Amino acid sequence: MNASSYLDTKYITIIFSIIRTALINGFDIKKYLIYVLNNLGKLTIEELLPYMTKLTTEVKK
């Protein structure tokens, strides 16, 4: 992955941080990312974060 600007680097860092938090919480990353992409615009950002309890049953390994 190539970060050609400060903004690119910032977004990549945020994405990796969210993925890492999902891993720490025992999520299947593929299921989690599909869930997030399918629910963008339907749920608030807070509801899509990896530590929300609602997500645990839907995206756990």
Residue 3 has pLDDT above 60, yes or no: no
Considering the entire predicted model, what is its pTM?
A: 0.68
24 compared with 59, residue with greater pLDDT: 24
SS (H, E, C) the chain: CCCCCHHHHHHHHHHHHHHHHHHHCCECHHHHHHHHHHHECCECHHHHCCCCHHHHHHHEC
CA distances from 8 to 14, 29, 37, 50, 54 (A): 10, 22, 19, 22, 30
Cβ neighbours, 10 Å, residue 24? 10
Give the model confidence (pLDDT) of 9-57 as tens digits: 888 888 898 889 888 888 888 888 888 888 888 988 888 887 776 776 7
Predicted confidence at residue 1, as pLDDT, reads 54
